[in-house]
Amino acid sequence: MEEYNNIINGEKVQSGSTFGVVNPANGDVFAICQSANVEMVDQAVAAARAAFFEWSKTSQEERKAKIHAIGDALEANMADLMALVTAETGKPMSGLNGVGSGMEVGGSIAWTHYTAELDLPVDIIQEDDIASIQVFRKPLGVVASITPWNWPLMIAIWHVMPALRAGNTVVIKPSPLTPLATIRFVEMVSEILPPGVLNVITGDASIGEALSKHSDVNKIVFTGSTQTGRNIMQAASANLKRLTLELGGNDAGIVLDDVNVKEVAPKLFAAAFHNNGQTCACLKRLYVHESIYEDLCEELARLAKTVVIGDGMRDGVELGPLQNKAQLAIVTDLVADAKANGGRFIAGGHPIEGDGFFFAPTIIADLEDGHRLVDEEQFGPVVPVIKYSDVSTIIGRANQNESGLGGSIWSSNVTRAAALAQQLECGTAWVNDHGAIQPDAPFGGVKQSGFGVEFGSYGLEEYTSLQTIKITKN
């Protein structure tokens, strides 16, 4: 059984304490990982701090070249990384509508190369005989990245690449449920970057807490639950760390009365069920106009009953297991609550017997706002479908939820849909799509879904501070 190590200052480091990594498709431990301790947190941060002085002074062109080299290394190791992602997350190699480990690694490559080419311009505020005023964007220092288990490699790339591009150094802590692809990625990068520029430490919540409190960490970028985000924000207040928090979502999709049900149903199903619903910006509650409600419910149920479920290593599998046993328990509990409170089950509704953490794709009709499955993020292969009659009322109901990551409007009238989309209280609103992100468009949440954005020039600037230089000429 292969063993994976923490990497500090370019060297593999062992603590003597290990934990097993479980394949969610069968529940078996398939790899061993070294667990960091608090002393190793100090070592990793110190290594990043020491490396920052030289790395922050490198030219823009040198940083671009190094990051492109990382993208090339990801591509050269794509097959191995895909296998690791599938083994530790359970997501299929291809997946529903092509959303699987191939997309995760391929997206990581694309994001890396795109981020390499971003620039940090110098803004000229004034240039005349009286004064010269310029605004510079400077790196912050040591960035701590704390990543979740649902998209471990891709989210690591989202955190790390703009941090490096801006001239920061990084300590990354992956989820202990899915540390392997991230560790392998850092191993590869250690052959490209100077020692200490990128370090990885693994372990439980105590490691994340130590990073959050550390006085030599200048910024934390975190993707995960809202409660953990609150904890990080509180811990980070001691030295006023910068924060980017992409937290939980309970995205609403609103289907207007003018859609073609047969055409829209597969898109809605894919938006809700890709990665088994384990994506922050999945469609998680679906509001459908009463005139097409039963037809759309029936079509979604048909799709749920025909999707191919199984071990993600097998060809043709579209949905794998939930990533962990605890998440399976959460989904099972929410479904039981929906059943007890009058939900009409038209597909699924139960765990799948056998090895692994599988749950049948589930469509539940006739719930309302106020039911747990509507109000809470399920993060699994279950979608409540809610009937409505008045679109202005349902916009208000959708906005009552405390989350505000994404939302969508579905209509054959794009002009009408776009106007309604602007009324949604969320960081990103889609029209006739949901969850589609790209490296040049900012992405982030409002309300309890966090603050700050990722991607493109907007996201890159989150890793910098502004410095104004004024030269008085007289």
Q: Which residues are catalytic?
A: 246, 280
Tokens of 291: 């005139």
CB 22, CB 324: distance < 8 Å:
yes
CB 251, CB 283: distance < 8 Å:
yes
CB 289, CB 410: distance < 8 Å:
no
Q: Which residues touch 209 (CB under 8 Å, ≥6 apart)?
A: 231, 235
Cα 409 from chain centre: 22
Q: Which residue has the tokens 């384990």?
A: 278
Measured between alpha carbons, how far is 436 from 438 in angstroms, rounded to an integer? Answer: 7
Q: Which residues touch 413 (CB under 8 Å, ≥6 apart)?
A: 256, 258
* Contacts of the segment 311-314: beta carbons below 8 A, 24+ positions apart: 311/25, 311/26, 311/356, 312/25, 312/86, 312/89, 312/90, 312/91, 312/92, 312/93, 312/95, 312/100, 312/101, 313/25, 313/83, 313/86, 313/87, 313/93, 314/92
Measured between alpha carbons, how far is 444 from 249 in angstroms, rounded to an integer? Answer: 10
CB 29, CB 325: distance < 8 Å:
no
Distances (CA, A) of 39 to 9, 46, 66, 206, 264: 14, 11, 30, 12, 53
List the end-to-end C-alpha distance of the chain, in Å, as a whole number.
Answer: 72
